[in-house]
Structure 1
Amino acid sequence: MGFSKTFLSLFLFFILFSLSYATSRITHQQRFPSTTKFSSNRLAEQLIRSFNLFPKDSANIHGEYSIDDFIPGNIVEKTFSFLASSNGTSVEDLGHHAGYYSLPRSKSARMFYFFFESRNGAKDAPVVIWLTGGPGCSSELALFYENGPFKINNDLSLSWNDYGWDKESNIIFVDQPIGTGFSYSSDENDIPTDGSGVSNDLYAFLQAFYKEHPELVKNEFYITGESYAGHYIPGLASRVHKGNKNKEGIPINFKGFAIGNGLTNPGIQYQAYTQFAVDNKLITKEDQADINKLVPDCVDATKTCESEGGESCETALQQCQQIFTNILDIAGNINYYDIRKKCEGQLCYDFSNLETFLNEKTVRDALGVGNIEFVSCSSAVHNALVQDWMLNYEKDIPTLLEDGIKVLIYAGEFDLICNWLGNSQWVHAMKWSGQEQFGASKTVPFLVDGKNAGLLNSYGPLSFLKVNGAGHMVPMDQPKAALQMLVNWIEGNLNQTKI
């Protein structure tokens, strides 16, 4: 199925690609492009390459692999070390694990994950799961460039991340949905096509994970992630909460979830683009008035998507995406994940070392993935979930708030694509018993080392944090502030100043 040109720029919220947009101002007619058709899969592959990532396949689908040894629900996990020899630390001391989980509902799907025990050695440290967006991007992007234990150097060596979230938690990074990263199957039909499928797979994985690590069952559990995970996270949160209420399997000590620069309520967030762009001098007031003429059709299409689903959601994406691409036509060659920066050539960021490192044979051997090649961002997974894109995932959050589940929505101030303004607007518009009090709450500074690192609003279990000096990837741009945010939020002291 084809998609219009307006589909180009929002293909992967976490793929930091850049297309070449005109730097000169263009006419009103040029800002409303025709609906030339393109292959969705072809566009996906082009955009992955513009991110300077070159996966050999569109997804990890390997028909040649035997499924004779496929045991549904089984976890195979091993310890590994990338850095133990550098300081005399043993593999066991580090507590670094990698594993595969065999999805029971699938033909032969195996979900890959990293699990890092807390660096501080605390037995009661919370368990945190991180979900990267896309849809279809591997969580190793966050692991090695944001909040994991280590970072990749230019010579492909690794160094410790002083602000890795494993310093204060046990953290899991999952390659999901199937086909992403090192996760694989022999059947493309094993890739989920909606949010329910994604959350059910993750819930099944968590049940198996806690069976493998019963010592962690009593520890508090938190769901985190960013970008398109603004869909994944509320879906998984609702699934875990439902499982606990229905006494399904192992009870999970679920306490809260945090979404960073997420896409959660598209119907509201798309409308915020022009105001954010005007406020940051990307477009003029005149431009805003012109582009806002597209908003009513976007809103109507989003409502139809919610009521009818299916292809109407693809139509809604094409309608609404015109708002975003027309802003870019005027703004020129900006990095729309961090508007302080320009895209250099076709690249806004270069994460190519990730694939080079993870596809080295010695690394694959250490992780126990055999001959499976790492796929950083999967076009096939993206395409499978295209009808999920415009759905509103805020609708499940009020029930969680009423039951005392803590919710943190945070956003870097310089991200355009999932900007803080749109996120703030859907959070304030969300109907729950504390809506009025949250709306009237005092905005207070979020302090790091006594300095203002952001602006915070809180009431009851709900918090919204605008993070200073950060773009789309807050833990990459402001690593110390991001770690402090996590620790203080978990401890219930988000407005305190020390890690």
Structure 2
Amino acid sequence: MLKTTIFLMFILGFAHGGVLNMPRQSSLDNVKSDWGYVTVRDDAHMFWWLFFQDPSYQPSFLTAIDPVPVVVWMQGGPGASGTGYGNFEELGPLDLDMNRRETSWTGLAHVLFVDNPVGSGYSYVSNTNAYTTDIDQIAADMVALLKGFYGKHPELTANPFYIFCESYGGKMAAATALALSKEIEAGNMNINLQGVGLGDGWISPMDSVNTWGEYLYETGLLDDTGLTAVNNAAQATQNAVNNGDWTRATNLWSLTESVVIRNTDNVDFYDILAPHHATTEYLIKTRNLTRLVPEELATGYALNVESYSTDPLDALMNGEVKTYLGIPDSVVWGGQSNAVFNAQAGDFMKPVIDTVDQLINTGMKVLVYNGQLDLIVDTPGQEQWMKKMQWSDLSSFMGKNWTPRYAAKGEDTGGFSKKLDNFQFWWVLKAGHMVPADAGEFMLYMLHDVITA
């Protein structure tokens, strides 16, 4: 039976709501927040951090949302930290330098960051057998965490609830939304689940991998020889998928990333227009990542987990923030991320298109959005998997023209959207993998539009 005991940890100096007496002033004192642990299973302890809606962050170009929604943010990886990266580098009230972020989502909603799967960020296991190994276990843990969270904050149960995410978080968010829907239908939860936003989501891995070569070629980042090399590596990955050898497919996905890097002088997988710094090679060499993960997975881990936790974020989360929150000394932020990544290797490359179909059929709002400059989850790949959905209105949706969108009147085109019933897709211009960081105002506009429509 799942346990949902919340550990407030007062004995360890763990407080909540930002009222802990500290020896010096922290910028976190200026934002209203609450946090805690939920034991979701034996030996599995997940951390959450809630930032309450703050009218001082209300965007001037948007109307206030009433009632205030609760939006949970799920990071990628698997193994990256929502309370760290998503919070301080994308959409929380403070940035990495602990300065005010004017495009924080807290202007529109109560924002709940979570460290999942268990072992990510401040979440931890006390037994190595407690790591999750598939998406269903991840979803079950998230259901347990949210039961614990709402047990602490029952006043928020009636507020509209949305799940937003990024990257591998898309796969986790889709599974979590479906699991929550079933719990609500069974009468086991009483929350106001309204929708899910799948941002640059790892929904169908092979549709991404199989379009990397052509996408890079068409944007002038591969020549014919490079295109052949990337496509050959992608085909080897596809063969492993076709054979049902999922762990091998994950290894070959990572090796395909290496082929891309060698043939593009290290293109940035998160933004193809970013400087071509040798960040992946640097991480592997300086941090000796092959000690943490198998050699074949080193590139994948460096790009999709380790890059989310490099200094100065690591220093902040294991320094000032850890002290402020009263996190136990034995817990190292991000210290178990390699184990999380390894544990999911057999499930990483499995698609969840059918889960998206099921979400649409529940009637909840389902949003897919993607950054134009993203490579790891490129827009052509997203368009490919959408065409594979079994949704009865898919052909009508595909036949619609898209609509240009603007964050505010008179601004440049921020993107395009297409919508039919409770499903919609948004193309976000001038943004890479981290849409909230790259297109902050437009992302607020999108969030507002989805929630209020």
TM-score bracket relative to the smaller structure? 0.7 to 0.9
Question: Identity rate of aligned residues, in percent?
Answer: 28
2:106 matched to 1:161? no
Q: CA deviation at 1:187?
A: 0.8
Match of 1:342 in 2: 275
**Match 1:100 to one of 37, 42, 55:** 37
1:325 aligns with 2:258: yes
Aligned to 1:431: 390
Please state how far the C-alpha of 1:331 moved relative to its aligned partner.
Answer: 1.1
Deviation digits for residues 66-86 of structure 1 (CA, Å, limit 9, x no counterpart): xxxxx942214511169x999
Give the stretch that moved more between structures: 280-289 or 254-263.
280-289
CA-atom RMSD, angstroms? 2.8
1:413-452 alignment, distance < 5 Å: 413-449=372-408, 450=410, 451-452=412-413
Change beyond 3 A, Cα 1:81–1:226: farther
Cα distance, 1:375 vs structure 2: 1.6
- Please tell me whether the aligned partners of residues 98 and 368 of structure 1 are also in contact (alpha carbons under 8 angstroms): no
- Deviations for 1:33-75, whole angstroms, at most 9, x for unmatched residues? xxxxxxxxxxxxxxxxxxxxxxxxxxxxxxxxxxxxxx94221
Asked whether the equivalents of residues 110 and 184 of structure 1 are also in contact (C-alpha less than 8 Å), the reply is: yes
What are the residue-to-residue correspondences of 1:48-447 with 2, within 5 Å?
Answer: 72-77=3-8, 78-80=16-18, 94-103=31-40, 105-106=41-42, 108-120=43-55, 124-139=67-82, 140-153=84-97, 158-248=98-188, 250-285=189-224, 287-289=226-228, 291-305=230-244, 312-346=245-279, 351-360=310-319, 363-371=321-329, 372-375=331-334, 378-447=337-406
Contact persistence 1:412–1:468 (CA under 8 A) = yes
Q: Secondary structure at the match of 2:269?
A: coil
Count of aligned positions: 406
Q: How does 1:468-487 map to 2 (within 5 A)?
A: 468-487=429-448
State TM-score, norm by structure 2.
0.83
Q: Aligned partners of 1:376, 1:225: CA distance in 2, in Å?
A: 22
Check the 8 A contact 1:134/1:377 in 2, yes or no: no
Task: Note closer, same or farther for the CA distance 1:282–1:75 as it changes in structure 2 (3 Å cut).
Answer: same
Query: In the superposition, relative to structure 1, how do residues 343 and 351 fare at CA in structure 2: closer, same or farther (>3 Å)?
Result: farther
- Give the conservation status (yes or no) of the 8 Å contact 1:240–1:252: no
Shift of 1:373: 2.4
Superposed displacement of residue 329, structure 1 = 2.2
CA distance, structure 1, for counterparts of residue 312 and residue 257 of structure 2: 30
CA apart distance, 1:252: 2.1
| C-alpha distance in 1 between matches for 2:219 and 2:164 | 28
Among 458, 461, 472, which residue is 2:422 paired with?
A: 461
**Alpha-carbon separation, structure 1, partners of 2:236 and 2:267:** 26
Offset of residue 297 of structure 1: 4.5
Q: Given the two structures, how large is their TM-score scaled by the length of structure 1?
A: 0.75
Relative distance call for 1:319 and 1:363 in structure 2 (3 A) is: closer
- The answer (yes or no) to whether the contact 2:208–2:376 under 8 Å persists in 1 is no
Partner of residue 17, structure 1: none
Instruction: Structure 1: give runs of 5+ residues left out of the alignment.
Output: 1-70, 306-311, 493-499
| Cα drift, residue 294 of structure 1 | 5.0
Pick closer, same or farther for the CA change 1:189–1:453 going to 2, 3 Å: same
**Distance in 1 (alpha carbons) for counterparts of 2:51 and 2:217:** 43
- State the 1:441 CA deviation: 1.2
Amino acid at match of 1:185: V
CA distance in 1, matches of 2:75, 2:350: 18
Provide, for residues 453-492 of structure 1, a one-character-per-residue CA deviation record: whole Å limited to 9, x for no partner.
1122222211111211111111111111111111111112
Quickly say closer, same or farther: Cα 1:342–1:245, change in 2 above 3 A. Answer: same
Residue of structure 2 in register with 1:56 after alignment = none
Measure how far apart 1:195 and its partner are: 0.8
CA distance in 1 between counterparts of 2:206 and 2:402 reads 25
